[in-house]
Structure 1
Amino acid sequence: MDDNGVGEKKESQTSSTDHRERSTAQEKQHVKPTVLQKDVGLVSGICLIVGSMIGSGIFISPKSVLLYSGGVGPCLLIWASCGLVATLGALCYAELGTMITKSGGDYSYIMEAFGPVVAYLYSWTTVIVLKPSALAIITLSLAEYAIAPFYPGCTPPVVVTKCLAAVAIIIVVSVNSLSVKLANYVQNFFTAAKLLIIVIIIVAGIVLLAQGNTENFTNAFKGPQPSFGSVGLAFYYGFWAYDGWNQLNFITEELKDPFRNLPLAIILGIPLVSVCYVMVNVAYFTVMTPSEVLSSSAVAVTFGDKVLHPMSWIIPIFVVFSTFGSANGSCFAAGRISYVSAREGHMVKVLSYISVKYLTPSPAVIFNGLLAIFYLMPADINSLINYFSFAQWMFYGLTSLGLIVMRFTRKDLHRPVKVSLKPVPIVLPVLLLVVSFYLVLAPIIDKPAIEYLFSVLFILSGLLLYYPFVHRRVQWADRLMRPITVFLQMLLEVAPPEKFE
């Protein structure tokens, strides 16, 4: 009798233990791991590329490209050349992205090719200056177009413009912190909207061109020859409009089937944008003389006033849509750079944490937004573009050099995509390296400025922080950051990511 009772008790305990283990296992199956999810498909990837590239640039840069190129013909050639270089560069990045499948884009590739010190300098410059200043530039453009109808015939107050830009940054940061899928839906919607306005401008230009408005294309190459440095500045503004061609490489870990979708999105997206840009500029010159383009504060709005009246009001609305979509794509990619560099120990640890509820790198996204708001305070769009382009093309050249180096030092890496033009297997990355070298040096040679020296000094200043805080990891810094990290972890409800393989 007692033995049977003991046996029943043991069986009951065993059954209870098994039940608890099964319940725990079932609970674990329903709890998502703290890793970024693969929520970005081919369509969303194309929309990220197209939506990030088509932003404020095509509505701001045309008059700057025309100013420094010296004429309609050279201007159109520069727009087409920028598209070709962007396509070739993106093909090089397709090889890198399918060879090194970590998020972070250039940061991960430079880390693999040149080691942690150079990668740290890239992350230091990009996270602190390049990405947040780019977001500030885009949202300033958005604010200028959004507020212009309320101040007809006069310049809007700077304070109002910057406050509206700050509101746009807050909205974009909120969207990207709440959900990757929501950010993708926003990107897809605004990409469709901006393509619609691009098509409207192109069709209107083609109709007017067919009606015989070809005066501005007669003797298009006649005029003074631009200087070596002026051509470089024209390319700067052109490439600013094309910037975003490598955005998909920053989110490789969240891309479904990256070996297929990464190169396919690049092949479909970037040529589409290139054709659109050239045709939009043809439409501008069909309607406006070069002097009208140069005197216009908003080329697209001036075009709308001349062609679409009384429906010209749609141009500013769609330009706002376009710039908002570009800001969303920029914020989406910027957060991943901060996240990956923090995961490698090159930024404060909390930037690598992931929202437990939403599975987004919300601390990194919020940090990028806060810096962008800071850059709004003294922001001047032209100076920010110059600073951004100079430093950015230094790193584009370094990344292309890394691809060349890894062709010899990392032959063991699997390369699902390999760009080459026989018989020279490295001609495309070499071409990108030469273009980067030219874009860095040409403006300095033509018109030396103290800003370029400040840029280089800022990049190198990262070494002053690298040795004590990254290489040596001084204990007092860890003790100082620990309570701050815990506070932010509880406030934002974030947790460390699971190890990436």
Structure 2
Amino acid sequence: MDQDGFNEAKKTLKGVVSQTEDEKPAKATVLQKEIGLVSGICLIVGTMIGSGIFISPKSVLLYSGAVGPCLLIWAAGGVLSTLGALCYAELGTMITKSGGAHSYLMEAYGPVPAYIFSWTVVVVLSPSSLAIITLSFAKYASTPFYPDCTPPVVVTKCLAAAAILVIVSINCLSVRLASYVQNFFTAAKLLIIFVIVAAGVVLLAQGHTKNLANAFDGPPLSFGAIGLAFYNGLWAYDGWTQLNFITEELKSPHRNLPLAILIGIPLVGVCYVLVNVAYFTVMTPNELLLSEAVAVTFGDRVLHPVSWIVPLFVVFSTFGAANGTCFGAGRLAYVSGREGHMVKVLSYISLRRFTPAPAVMFNGLLALCYVMPADINTLINYFSFAQWAFHGMTLLGLIVMRFTKKELHRPLKVPIVVPALMVLVSCYLVLAPIIDKPELEYLYCVLFIFGGLLLYYPFVHLKVEWAQKIMGPITMHLQLLLEVVPAEKTE
């Protein structure tokens, strides 16, 4: 099926839509700029504050060994995330394309590293992240119905699958609706964090400081244990690159991208440290490690008459984070399809809704697959290992482009020592756990990443003819079924 067939399908779809929507002003078939500063902040905060702060405290404490190092790792995670996000802000204001690191790797190194990134993130990292968050949502949503035991696995997985279907539907229907949903759930999660922090402040004022005394008494930390503690802490901070995935839909990106980062990420860091302090006012380290749901245990002990609000608002928090994750992941798949690194239909836009519906649906379908066998802790370690490898490559690319792309306009320019520091941190976070405790999952990750090159050469570089003939009719039928068309080129 050649380009004429696609164009004919596009004309047919436009004719059908124009007959039913004659009264509406025509819009170019491109992603619309509908995300303002407030929505951008909500996307960052809402994606970062999700399941991590309600799950990761256990793992961070387990690997750090004591209260003091645990709190320091949470604070350091906020600083590192802010520094990394500022580097991404320079990249995002310099290269104003959606897709985040995919676009930056393409500019810095060329198509092969960008393809490897999109292959790994689109196929594994983004959908597994969505699966992790929705599993956390399901765990907290079902816990009140099973007060004396752990919720059955089949219940949590079915709830997670239902959440994915709802979120995908929202993101396919409307960018504005997805933005409103994100804003609402961000407000809800900030409210419950305020309640937890306020309760902790009251308890501290009443003298509940026993668990914070001798905070640094604990076993000596190993090289790898610190890396794993940072893994789980930075998992809770994941999302600081989220706004870079939607640069083309952001109003005034040169202003709003860095401003949203400077407001959103430090706010999250302060919240995380204060929430962990609040946890330790009522739980000993051993009690926190034994808790199935840390925030729920805190609520049961401190907010007993209204303790039900904690799991309710945690459910809101994880749902909002899943919505933000799906929003950004769909844009990466869309850009990958547009660049020819994924099947072309992923780069198509809904003719009625102006959303990248095929890309969003593809991400949701893969997330459903990952929900079925998922183990949350294994997925977190797998996700962090590969994600920080790509962060390191991207931040190194920022340094490379200081010398190779001097002509690019840089509205924001961070001191070069910042990306250099973040590259070293990325190398540490990738290598430390492997050196300390080699595991097969790291090898599988590397093999999967470079295994994508087996598909790149015939299907992306050579564009073999028989593959085009097979995908042509499939793409056209999906185009007609989903009412999606290629994006129009705009100046």
User: Could you say whether these structures have the same fold, taking a TM-score greater than 0.5 normalized by the shorter chain as the test?
Assistant: yes
TM-aligned CA distance change 1:28 to 1:351, over 3 Å: farther
Matches within 5 A, 1:7-406: 30-406=25-401
Matched, 1:468 2:458: yes
CA distance in 1, matches of 2:298, 2:367: 30
CA distance in 2, matches of 1:139, 1:500: 37
- Give the TM-score normalised by structure 2: 0.95
Structure 2 equivalent of residue 418 of structure 1:
413
Q: Secondary structure at the match of 2:452?
A: helix
2:427 to 417, 437, 450: 437
Deviation at 1:28, TM superposition (A): 11
Amino acid at match of 1:62: P
Amino acid at match of 1:448: P
CA distance in 2, matches of 1:225, 1:320: 36
Matches within 5 A, 1:441-452: 441-452=431-442
TM-aligned CA distance change 1:99 to 1:227, over 3 Å: same
Q: Secondary structure at the match of 1:495?
A: strand
CA distance in 1, matches of 2:152, 2:191: 30
Deviation at 1:279, TM superposition (A): 0.2
Deviations 1:85-144 (A, max 9, x none): 000000000000000000000000000001001100000000000000000000000000
* Equivalent residues, number: 473
Deviation at 1:30, TM superposition (A): 2.3
Structure 2 equivalent of residue 7 of structure 1:
none
Deviation at 1:499, TM superposition (A): 2.3
Q: Secondary structure at the match of 1:39?
A: coil
Deviation at 1:486, TM superposition (A): 0.9
CA distance in 1, matches of 2:75, 2:490: 40
Identify unmatched segments of 5+ residues in structure 2: 1-21
Mark the structure with the bigger radius of gyration.
Answer: 1
CA distance in 1, matches of 2:187, 2:213: 34
Amino acid at match of 1:497: A
Structure 2 equivalent of residue 15 of structure 1:
none
TM-aligned CA distance change 1:163 to 1:38, over 3 Å: same
Identify unmatched segments of 5+ residues in structure 1: 1-26, 421-425
TM-aligned CA distance change 1:264 to 1:39, over 3 Å: same
Following TM superposition, where does structure 1 have runs of at least 4 consecutive aligned residues deviating by more than 4 angstroms?
none
Deviations 1:389-412 (A, max 9, x none): 000000000000000000000000
CA distance in 2, matches of 1:407, 1:30: 43
Query: Kindly, what percent of the aligned residue pairs are identical?
Result: 75
CA distance in 2, matches of 1:237, 1:324: 20
CA distance in 2, matches of 1:31, 1:485: 25
